[in-house]
Amino acid sequence: MNHYMKKSIQQYQAENKNKARLLIKCPDQPGIVAAVSDFLYRHDANIITSDQYTLDPDGGQFFMRVEFYCPQLLEKAEVLEEAFQSIGEKFAMEWQLLYVSQLKNMAIFVSNEPHCLMELLWEYQSGDLMAHIALVISNHETARETVESLGIPFYYIPANKDIRKQVEEKQLQLLNEHQVDVIVLARYMQILTSDFVKNYEHQIINIHHSFLPAFVGAKPYERAYKRGVKMIGATSHYVTNDLDEGPIIEQDIGRVDHRDNSAKMKKIGQAIERVVLSRAVKWHLEDRIIVHENKTIVF
């Protein structure tokens, strides 16, 4: 990590040391917001932003994200969490209290095409992607120089479907060593096993180079060209055991026309992939996403 970046992260942590986020998911019933806001008020916290959503017809599920400011937050963290316990129980909540200054540890997986990795590193250097990039793992050597020049450990682990088990063992060991919270598949062209995925439920973010559910699977640009579509897209989603079927976080598209062959589509698509993945990763880092069944609520 270079000096500029270190300063930026330290500055960010200092500025946000009294900020936290509360994520809530529970059956809907009267009084939830009153209970939460009263709790915050009694603990001298001031709400910065608050979003909520009730999923009506399908059973009255309630979702909430509150970002608040609380003097001496980190000193009071334990007290807050303990005190919130009873509210959580009363309303049968799944809840998380997340401290803005505690950055997530991120691993990036990449194969041969570096554009998505490059975008993330760029955002990281600009101070716009607030995480600790703990390591980059690749089945190609392509990105080593760029990654290491930023002081980020780079691990080359050759991979193919015949040695998947050994590869994933090595990867999991590295992820454990680096205490990784979130894995970004920045165009990593290997399929992960369900054994691997279950360790990081809703913590693995993939970018698929099509507008899902169109062109699930391999070679989407070639297939988009063959079908003669007039727009191509990209989709960022959490990884589940079903290929390209996990909860969608973000999508975007770009125009193509008859002059664009699949190589040109790929170029146009790469610019979309960069933007879509970058948005999805930032929303995850900002604790904006709640997964419910196979969908995301993005606050």
Which among 203, 204, 186, 143 is positioned nearest to 278, based on CA atoms?
A: 186
Binding of its own copies at residue 11 (CB under 8 A)?
Answer: no
Does the protein bind its own copies through residue 249 (CB under 8 A)? yes
Residue by residue, what is the 3-state secondary structure of 248-293?
EEEEEEEECCCCCCHHHHHHHHHHHHHHHHHHHHHHHHCCCEEEEC
* Dihedral sign computed on CA atoms, order 141, 155, 283, 25: positive
Using the contact rule CB under 8 A, the part of the chain among 5-13, 158-166, 191-199, 256-264 near its own copies is 256-264
- Dihedral angle of Cα 196, 182, 104, 11, to the nearest 10 degrees: 150
| Choice from 20, 23, 137, 297 touching its own copies (CB under 8 A) | 297
Total number of residues that touch its own copies (CB under 8 A):
57
Instruction: Report which of 159, 160, 158, 169 is spatially closest to residue 195, judged by C-alpha positions.
Output: 169
For residue 148, the tally of other CB atoms under 10 A from its CB is 12
Q: Which is nearer to its own copies, 10 or 261 (by Cβ)?
A: 261
Contacts to its own copies from residues 101-160, by CB under 8 A: 115, 118, 122, 126, 128
Annotated catalytic residue within 56, 162, 244, 257: 244
Distance of alpha carbon 279 from alpha carbon 289, whole angstroms:
12
Restricting to residues 193-232, name those near its own copies by CB under 8 A.
Answer: 211-215, 227-231
Asked whether the beta carbons of 61 and 17 are under 8 A apart, the reply is: no
Instruction: By CB under 8 A, tell whether 248 contacts its own copies.
Output: yes
71 lies in the site for its own copies, by CB under 8 A: no
- Residue 258 binds its own copies, judged by CB under 8 A: yes
Residue from the set 6, 11, 38, 90 that interacts with its own copies by CB under 8 A:
38
244 is catalytic: yes
Q: Identify the H or E element spanning 204.
A: strand 204-208
Residue 287 contacts its own copies per CB under 8 A: no
Active site residues: 244
Question: Where on the chain is the footprint of its own copies (CB under 8 A)?
Answer: 28, 30-31, 33-34, 37-38, 40-41, 44-54, 56-57, 115, 118, 122, 126, 128, 211-215, 227-231, 233, 247-253, 257-259, 261, 267, 271, 275, 294-298
